[in-house]
């Protein structure tokens, strides 16, 4: 815009220079409009692809997460679990299983009382696991627009080696 205005002013002193400034100004402004519109279009296209990619990435990360992980409905049935969790129970059919039936030490009613901050230890197939978790709300596609679905996310941290080392230390300590 400034080049066009300068070009109009320069027309009074030098016609060729004024025309050149006007053409440069119009060209620059046109390029700016084209570049800005094209950039907005590219950004819009990029943003269209993000939700699908993020969902796919999130799903891949959760599936391949090396730590056993489970999402449990409020009624205690398993909603989702990764392969690491499934490997803990090779003889069980986990589809719609009750968590407290596959891990008897977990008392579901008691767990719900502390669902905002789950922190407990269990033994599964001779291994010691520290469970951490919490309740989270999610929007359900099938639920009404203002209804959240509550689920409990739980992570199982294998601390068998640390437990064995601690036991060995305690034994050595009492021997001395």
Most confident range, picked from 86-90, 112-116, 136-140, 145-149: 86-90
Mean per-residue pLDDT of the chain: 77
Confidence class for position 21, pLDDT limits 50, 70, 90: low
Answer for the pair 139, 126: CB distance below 8 angstroms, yes or no: no
Average pLDDT over residues 19-36: 73
Q: What are the angstrom distances between the C-alpha of 89 and each of 17, 40, 62, 125?
A: 83, 51, 18, 8
Over 60: is that where the pLDDT of 143 sits?
no
Structure tokens at 60: 């891949």
pLDDT at 141: 54
CA distance 119 to 131: 6
**What are the residues facing 156 on neighbouring strands?**
131
Q: How far apart, in whole angstroms, are the C-alpha atoms of residue 1 and residue 64?
A: 56
User: Comparing 122 with 1, which gets the higher pLDDT?
Assistant: 122
Instruction: In whole angstroms, give the CA distance from residue 114 to residue 132.
Output: 11
For residue 115, the model assigns a pLDDT of: 76
**Residues 15/16/18/24 CA torsion (nearest 10 deg):** 160
pTM > 0.85: yes or no: no
Q: Tell me, what's the pLDDT at 124?
A: 94
- The values of phi and psi at residue 130, to 5°, are -100, 125
For 37-85, the pLDDT digits (tens) are: 776 666 666 556 555 544 565 566 666 678 999 989 989 999 889 889 9
| Mean pLDDT score, 92-110 | 89
Task: Determine the average pLDDT of the residues in 106-128.
Answer: 89
Q: Is 128 helix (H, G, I), strand (E, B) or coil?
A: strand
Q: How confident is the model at residue 160 (pLDDT cuts 50, 70, 90)?
A: very high
């Amino acid at each position: 815009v400034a080049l066009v205005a300068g070009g109009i002013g320069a027309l009074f002193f030098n016609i060729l220079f004024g025309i050149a400034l006007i053409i440069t100004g119009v060209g620059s402004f046109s390029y700016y409009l084209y570049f800005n519109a094209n950039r907005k279009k590219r950004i819009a296209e990029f943003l269209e692809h993000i939700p699908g990619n993020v969902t796919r990435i999130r799903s891949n990360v959760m599936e391949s997460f090396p730590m056993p992980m489970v999402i449990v409905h409020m009624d205690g049935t398993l909603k989702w679990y990764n392969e690491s969790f499934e490997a803990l129970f090779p003889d069980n059919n986990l589809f719609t299983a009750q968590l407290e039936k596959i891990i008897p030490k977990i008392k579901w009613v008691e767990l719900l009382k502390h669902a905002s901050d789950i922190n407990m230890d269990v033994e599964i197939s001779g291994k010691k696991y520290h469970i951490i978790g919490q309740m989270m709300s999610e929007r359900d596609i099938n639920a009404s627009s203002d209804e959240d679905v509550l689920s409990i996310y739980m992570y199982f941290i294998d601390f068998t080696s640390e437990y064995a080392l601690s036991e060995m230390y305690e034994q050595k300590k009492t021997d001395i």
